[in-house]
Each structure stands twice: as C-alpha cells, then as structure tokens.
Amino acid sequence: MKTKKGYGAESIKVLEGLEGVRKRPAMYIGSTGKDGLHHLVYEVVDNSVDEALAGYCKNIKVLINKDGSATVEDDGRGIPTEIHPQLKIPAVEVALTKLHAGGKFDKKSYAISGGLHGVGISCVNALSKKMIVEIKRDGNIYTQEYSRGIPKTKLKIVGKCNKNDTGTRITFWPDEEIFSTVDFDYKVLETRFREITFLNAGLRIILVDEIKNKKEEFFAAGGLIEFVKWVNKSKEVLHKPIYFKRESGSTIVEVSIQYNSGYQENIFGFVNTINTVEGGTHVSGFKTALTRVINDYAKKKGVLKNGSLSGDDVREGLTAIVSVKLPDPQFEGQTKTKLGNSEIKGLVDSAVSVALSEFFEENPSIAKKIASKALDAAKARLAAKKAKDLVRRKSAFSLGGLPGKLADCSSKKSENTELYIVEGESAGGSAKMARNKEFQAILPIKGKILNVEKSSPAKALSSEEIANLITAIGTGVGENFNIGKLRYNKIIIMTDADVDGEHIKTLLLTFFFRFMPQLIENGNVYVALPPLYRIRKKKDYYVYSDEELKKILEKSGSSAAGNVTRFKGLGEMSSEQLWETTMNPKSRKIKKIFIEDAVEADRVFSMLMGDDVSSRKQFISENAREAQLDI
C-alpha cells in the first residue's frame, strides 16, 4: 500500500487565475460544440487516470445523469482538502478555481500525467453552471458546490468514512450559455474509455447512461495486445500480435504490432493515454525503426536483392499502437494532438529497433510473412504509381484537365464552390438543371463505385469512376495529396434515400476515408439529405424522415394522409423541387461528416466493407434502429 506522502496542500502550485476561460472557452477546450462538451468529461477523467498512472486508482465510474449532468467518480487519494499555505483556502478550492493550479507541476505528486497543463478541472468548473465536488480523505467526507467557477458554499465535512476509503466524485452541469449542445453522447465516451483501459492494463472504467439505460464496463488485462486485436478483429490477420515494453529512466515506451492482409496503414499514437491524432516524435521514431529493421532483415535473408523498401511498403496492412508515458510531454496546444519532444524520437527508434530485431530472430516465420508482405507492397506501389501517372496524363489531355462528365461551375474561387457527387445519369440530369451554375458543380457517377476496402491501390486508381473523382476534386491522393489544390470548398454526396443509395454513400465515404482522410478532417465532405416525402395541402411540405411523417400525421389526423407522396429517387423530383429541398443553401439540409475517433472509424469501415460477414451482421442488428451511422 503506497502512502499519501508527497501529495498534500503544498503540492497544489498556483500560476494564475481563471479569467478569460468563459470569454474564450475554445482556447482551452477546443470548441463550444460537441467536441468541447465531451472534452469536459475527458479533463475530469484524465485527473482520475493520472491517479491510476501514479498507482493509486483502480476504478473510475462515469455517469450520464437524467438531469443533464455528468458524474466522474474514482477511488484515488482524493483531492487535498487542507488549507493551502499561500492562499489560505482549501487546496481543492485552489485546484477548482485557479487556472494552472494542480499537482502536475512539481514531479513529487505525479511523475507522469496526461492532465499536464493544470487547466482542466478549473476550466470544467468555469464552463459549468453548477458543479459539486465530493471527496473521501483522511476518514472524512467533504463536499463543496460551485457555479460558473465561483464557490457557492464553503468546503464542509458532511460525514465520516473508513480511513482507507478514499476518492473523488465530481458532478457538473455544462452551461447552455457556452455550449451549442449539452447532450452527452454515449458512443463518443465509450470509444475514449475503451482506449484508456487498453492503454492502462488493469484499470477499470464503468460507463452508465441513466437516460438511455445503458451500462458498459471497460477492462483490459492484456493492455496493448488486446487493443491491437480489437482494431483488427474484422480483418484477416497474418500473425499473433507483437508486443514489447522498454523503460528509460522515468519514460516508458510500449508498442504492439500486427499485420493484416489488407492495404491500409493504421498507426495510433498515444502520450500519457492522450490520443495524439496528429502523431509526433514518438510515431516518427517508430516509423524510422520499422522501415530500417524490415529492410535489414530482408537484405540479410537475401529476399531483397536490389534497392530498399519504402516506409509505405513496410506499413501496408500494418496496425500498430505506439504508447509512451513520460514526465514532461510537450504538446502542441491544450487539446494535445501532437507530441513535440525531440528526444523521444531517438528513444522510440532505439527501443523499437532492438526489440523488433530480437523478435524477428526468435520468430523467423512471422518475420518472413512481414517481409513478404512488404515486398508485395513494393511491387503494388510501382503498379499504383503507373495508375496515378495514368490519371494525371488523362487529366492533362481531357478538356480543361477535367472529366467530360463533370458539369463545372463558373466561379474560380474555391471557398464558395460546391461539388455534388450524384448517383446515376437521371439524377445527374436533374441536378444539372436544378443547380446554381455559378458555384455548384455536378459529377454523375455510374451506380456503385469500387469497394476500395477490398481492392489494392493500383486496382482502385485504375477505376474510371475513382479517377474521375480524384481529377475533379483536384487534391491528388496519398503522398501527392495537396489540400491547396482543392477545387471545391464543399464536396456533397447526393444519393437516393433507399438501400442502394445508402450503399453508394458508404462506398464513397470509404473512398474518402482511405484515400483523402484530410478532406474529412478539414470539414470538406458532406452528405445531402433529400426529403423522403411530400405532403400536398394548400402548399407543399417536405418531410425528411419516417419519424417526422408519423408526428405530422398524428398531429393533423387523416386529412394529410391522402396527399403524401413518397420520393423513390432524386430523378423523380422536378428540378425546382430538387433545388428547393436539397440544393438551395438557404433551405436544404446537409450533414457534415466527422471522424470522431480514427481508431473506431477504421474498425467500423473495415467491418462494414470487409469480409467479416458475422461481425457485419451483428453490427447491423445492433444498430438497425438508429438507421444512420455517425462517422
């Protein structure tokens, strides 16, 4: 049993006050939308995870409450309650009301921490209309209430508990004055907590949604090995997961690797359990070492006679988790998306080089499979290069460098323009008549495009429909991708509201996710939402879902039922109807596509579009009622 020495009131260091958080919340939590809302939960949970990293917390419970609040409860040491030596107020009040105040600045309390900046819990307090903190510590139960960062009560003892029974429970109500939505999304939280438990073997997180009556427990005794298996569970894997852990001083490097038979590369980097979606020095070090070790092995065994395998070659079909835990991470921004510590690159490079070389020597059959996969990828890369060159040559020789099917817009200012990708010639014809020619371009496609999840890059790039898409968008793909060459600000997928239309939409989203993920990350990809029904009374009303129709019919009785028209396809609408309902920026409904979590998005695309039929059936049966997939 570890003692509580080194974590008392004197551990809470004060840097500055809370001013400005409510005025400019996005500076601290990234946004005031859905992402920022969930960031509040992560900030509180990160504090509990820090207690787990320090060895004091085993269980975290998160509740989405019926009254709109969220609760995070842990069995850590409890935030210190004694009077702060400088400020003469309880240490917990310092932590909750002072920006840059916390136990993370001297390395006595936390050697390793995700909540590095110390702005987390105080920001959550500032952006909540109400917050209640409850602490079990030193045999007492303490509580205090806050509103928008200001204490409403003094810290008081409300009961006694066993001296060994310690922990913190924080309940907060997000402020509607700040956030555009205050509804917590179970799926978003579920994804993050699953990752945290994979990255901290032995930590248990329980998520309870009191509104939807859902409950799930996350626990991974196997840590990263279970993580890489979970990411690859819808894929055909080539070998058992490779795992190694190396420590250098107080820095820990953990890596798990597993190749599958597919063509996609998936490297997920984490620093102190924070998902560094933009990578950083830890991911760079891993990539360098992986390329070198596989090249050395291939040359040593005589399977690579001339030249070298590229980084892309050795990473085809790779799933890897690279997790580092270090005392002083330097992140870009408070939302922590990229690691900047230069020394970590060499440290990870060295750890991976030694461990992977040893593994290859001890497991020659697995090493041979990985080298063969990379050699096949090198051959395919040359074929894909020819295909890309062919796409570029076709572009150069076609009229204006653009596909003949494309009905382009007249405006040359890309920030105002839109490209509609439309299913079928009939709908394409209607869309061309309906559009505003100044800023809306139309690209009709022939039904179902190639499923890029099951196809090699060379085959995908040889497809006429995909080549037309790439040429029309203008950015190129892969290593040639350049966002500066994007020809349209909005790329809008417009398909019929039927099963075939949904399938085509999924095929197109799979293409964007695998070949141009930057467009989704940059917020350029949208899905049009055409109406399902028209209700004709004194004037036409358009209805966009079965639920909406049901409500209207219940409200107006049978009088509206005889005028209801079901639109079977876009081609059935007149150009005026299509413009007014689906293409007019003032009246249409379109949905922006987000990748809320790359790990989950990769798994879902692989499962929906790959060969694992049983997983796909299970997913569809579990999600059929929701009808739409949030990506």
> Active-site residue among 43, 73, 254, 423?
423
Token digits for 320?
A: 């890897």
For the chain, the maximum distance between any two Cα atoms, rounded to a whole number of angstroms, is 81
500 has catalytic annotation = yes
Element (H, E) at 143: strand 140-147
d(CA 318, CA 298) in angstroms, rounded, equals 17
Torsion of CA 374, 376, 382, 384, to 10 degrees: -100
Q: How far apart are CA 41 and CA 57, in angstroms?
A: 17
CB 234 within 8 A of CB 603: yes
Residues 534, 565 contacting (CB under 8 angstroms): yes
d(CA 475, CA 483): 6
Active site residue 312: no
Q: Among the residues of 254-341, which ranges form H helices?
A: 281-300, 311-315
Active-site option among 50, 74, 418, 496: 496
Token output for 295: 């090249």
DSSP string, 42-100: HHHHHHHHHHHHTT---EEEEEE-TTS-EEEEE-SS----SBPTTT-SBHHHHHHHSTT
Rounded (to 5) percent helix, strand, coil in the chain: 40, 20, 35
Buried b (16+ CB within 10 A) or exposed e, 102-131: bbbbeeebbebbbbbbbbbbbbbbbbbbbb
Q: Which of 296, 500, 611, 612 is catalytic?
A: 500
Residue 446 dihedral angles phi and psi, to the nearest 5°: -85, 95
Q: Would you call 546 a catalytic residue per the annotation? A: no
In Å, what is the CA distance from 96 to each residue of 87, 117, 131, 367, 413? 13, 13, 10, 52, 48
- 358 catalytic residue (yes or no): no
List the catalytic residues. Answer: 423, 496, 498, 500
